[in-house]
Amino acid sequence: MKIVIAGAGAVGTHLATWLSSESHDITIIDHDQDTLVKIDSHIDAITFSGEVTDFDVLMRAKVDTADLFISVTSVEEANILSAIYAKKLGAKKTIARISQMQYLTDEDTLNIREFGIDELISPESLAAREVRHLINTNAASESIEFENGKITLLGLDIDKDADIVGKSMAEVAKLSSKRDYVVVAIRRENNTIIPKGDTVVEAGDHLFVITHADGMEQVLEVTGRRKIAINDIIVIGGSRTGMHLARKLGKKFHVKLIEQNAEKADKIASMFPEIMVLNFDGTDVEKLEEEGLKNADVLVAVTGNSETNVLTCLVAKDRGVKKTIAMVENIEYLALTQSIGIDSLINKKLAAANFIYRYIRRGDFVTLSTIHGIDSEVMEFNVTSKCKVTQKAIKDLDLPKGAIIGGVIRDGEGLIPTGDFEIQPLDKVVVFAKTECAKKVGHYFR
């Protein structure tokens, strides 16, 4: 596939890195020549220096022959305009990054898709959605749902006093009379382990577990985690992410949004009267305590400053807040969640890159997600009668090393398969696979 990416920021660079590794023909446009020089040194891509809305630059980048044009600069207007231009020039599909939610929620007034943009993405909205999901599955630091929660992948930290520490996977399996979950991977320091029966759980491990709705409690019991009851939530920062988040959470929980800028705080309060908006510096511990910090169940810090978000969450954790979530700009921070003492870290740019990556790959898969910090992918396949996986029991399929079938959705019910399980046409199958064998797995579902 020929893909042109406009914008070499964090979203564009991550996309280019992922897609070039899959042998796509990648072209990158950006006005910053120094950034493009760095990209040239480690990504297999053609680069063009110039403005993404410049017709001449778009023509030199051969946008007219592109299968997909993705505009993800930091300027919303440039993304929209360049995507419209690209479509007019001949690009088959176009995606534009936006910040204003009106484009997504008020299509009756202005449907931007009518101008030739096939998909709009809002990193702020995607980040807010990720936070909401983490709150709903609050014992986990990562959570990915399949088929509206019929099957869920959870990322869980293992504390030193957890009962499973020192036990092998085979011994862990015996702790429950019925297995309603499967451990598909372990992140240990900087290594990804696909566990076998003799793999022993260590303190500090981060387990990735696939389960269904009925198995959630069993997973939490086995791993020593506890889901918390949530009523009171504090959101630090009236950023677009903060506003999206507070507006959605306010329908279900008691939410306080804290914004340092008085003018912005007044504006948010008038826009969302159902939310309690407070005007003070979210790093002011004394004020936070006055506003009931120790009684808060969750604190989410989504200001524009990563360090502020991290430090505020650390203070909240020290004061007894049960769940803390911080938004960070540096994607490399995401692997540090457990070591720094915060429950979950999110990055809106990575959320956007993940969304676009799934969009590109959806011809092969129903859903695909990457998890930062491990070299693995989670895929959901639709099964037809032609698929190889319907011909034998799972244990006899000879799947590539590093691939595990973790869940099956059949007739609307989530199932955790054993080795004797036989996959049937019309099933949806969730597979966890190390990156190097992910493509090989796809052959079994064609």
All structural domains of the chain, each given as residue ranges with its CATH number in brackets, are 2-121 (3.40.50.720), 132-223 (3.30.70.1450), 230-347 (3.40.50.720), 352-443 (3.30.70.1450)
Residue 150 in contact with residue 385, Cβ under 8 Å?
A: no
Please tell me the predicted confidence (pLDDT) of residue 104: 59
- Residue type present at position 35: T
Please tell me the predicted confidence (pLDDT) of residue 107: 59
Nearest-angstrom CA–CA distance, 278 and 266: 9
3-state secondary structure 417-439: CCCCCECCCCCEEEEEEEHHHHH
Please tell me the predicted confidence (pLDDT) of residue 191: 84
Please tell me the predicted confidence (pLDDT) of residue 334: 65
Flag residues of the chain having pLDDT under 70: 101-110, 331-339, 361-373
The length of the chain in residues reads 446
Please tell me the predicted confidence (pLDDT) of residue 14: 85
pTM of the model: 0.77
Residue 183 in contact with residue 168, Cβ under 8 Å?
A: no
DSSP letter string over 133-145?
Answer: HHHHTTT-SEEEE
Reported as a single tens digit per residue, the pLDDT across 160-180 is: 888 899 999 999 988 887 879
Nearest-angstrom CA–CA distance, 128 and 131: 5
Nearest-angstrom CA–CA distance, 210 and 215: 9
Please tell me the predicted confidence (pLDDT) of residue 49: 95
- 337-357 b/e (C-beta count within 10 Å ≥ 16 → b): bbeeebbbbbbbbbbbbbbbb
Residue 380 in contact with residue 365, Cβ under 8 Å?
A: yes
Residue 78 in contact with residue 53, Cβ under 8 Å?
A: yes
Please tell me the predicted confidence (pLDDT) of residue 208: 92
How crowded is the C-beta side of 277, counted as CA atoms within 13 Å? 24
Residue 292 in contact with residue 233, Cβ under 8 Å?
A: no
